């Protein structure tokens, strides 16, 4: 998995920008479980009202190690899942998305943060050693929306950040962030990073407001072999 080439300053600036963008659009969620995982092993959600907040990683030295293509959680068990650049940094993006979608409760939220291929960041990945954007399989919002619709999700809101090329963020972060605030407010297309919030629909009804499902207990809802494909109703 490609990580920014010895450029921790650029990565830090990018994460801070994404954190600010996400906090503006992620609703106040009430429930039990929030899971976030990142291709760059950096948390995006900094505060939440959900009772239990877990950060997972593919690395063996982390507290919660997971396989993004086969998540160790029961179906319909987590109130909110945040996938940070998982899809554009994994060659099997569709399977990663299916697993993330599977473990969200009905009416729960799936937050996806990814690089936009139709942007300066998308173009920069092809500039070999002169490009600062990470390599990867960037997925457009339109394609992602089609996938989510097939999985039974409705996109509630999208926003973006990093409209300028990555070298601007690297050397002029304040200017880059100032431009982001203006263009995001104008809903200007072409953001280098999108933040997409989708909601899991329940068959036969259309939810109007968040209706969180209270899950009893404090244990992480880890999958059991006999429960795959069965809705979780109790512990």
Q: Kindly list the distances between the CA atom of residue 130 and the CA atoms of 8, 85, 166, in Å, as whole numbers in the listed order.
A: 16, 21, 11
Pick 54 or 217 by higher pLDDT: 54
In the chain, % of residues over pLDDT 70? 81
pLDDT tens string 165-177: 999 999 999 999 9
What band does 29 get if pLDDT is binned at 50, 70 and 90?
confident
Question: Cα separation of 74 and 93, whole Å?
Answer: 20
Range with the poorest average pLDDT among 23-37, 102-116, 137-151, 172-186: 23-37
Instruction: Find residue 84's DSSP bridge partners.
Output: 38, 113
108-142-133-17 Cα dihedral, nearest 10 degrees: -40
Distance in angstroms (rounded) separating the CA atoms of residues 57 and 59: 5
185-191 contacts at long range (C-beta below 8 A, 24 or more positions apart): 188/163, 190/116, 190/118, 190/119, 190/120, 190/163, 191/116, 191/119, 191/159, 191/160, 191/161, 191/162, 191/163
pLDDT at 64: 87
CB 97 within 8 A of CB 51: no
- Split at pLDDT 50, 70, 90, the class of 61 is low
Q: What are phi and psi of 148, to 5 degrees?
A: -65, -40
d(CA 218, CA 66): 19
Residue 58 has pLDDT above 60, yes or no: yes
Global pTM?
0.83
């Amino acid at each position: 998995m490609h990580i920014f080439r010895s450029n921790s300053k650029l990565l830090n600036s990018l994460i801070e920008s994404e954190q600010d963008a996400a906090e503006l659009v992620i609703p106040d969620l009430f429930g039990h479980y929030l899971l976030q995982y990142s291709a760059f092993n950096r948390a995006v959600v900094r505060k939440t009202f959900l009772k239990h907040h877990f950060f997972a990683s593919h690395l063996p030295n982390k507290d919660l190690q997971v396989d993004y293509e086969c998540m160790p959680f029961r179906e319909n068990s987590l109130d909110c899942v945040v996938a940070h650049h998982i899809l554009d940094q994994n060659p099997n993006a569709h399977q990663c998305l299916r697993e993330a979608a599977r473990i969200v409760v009905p009416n729960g939220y799936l937050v996806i943060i990814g690089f936009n291929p139709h942007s300066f960041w998308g173009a920069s990945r092809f500039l070999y050693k002169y490009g600062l954007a990470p390599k990867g399989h960037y997925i457009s919002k339109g394609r992602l929306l089609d996938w989510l619709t097939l999985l039974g999700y409705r996109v509630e809101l999208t926003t973006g950040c990093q409209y300028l090329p990555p070298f601007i963020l690297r050397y002029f972060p304040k200017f880059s962030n100032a431009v982001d605030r203006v263009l995001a407010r104008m809903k200007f297309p072409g953001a280098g990073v999108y933040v997409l919030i989708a909601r899991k629909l329940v068959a036969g009804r259309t939810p109007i407001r968040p209706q969180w499902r209270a899950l009893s207990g404090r244990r992480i809802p880890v999958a059991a072999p006999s429960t795959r494909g069965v809705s979780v109703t109790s512990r």
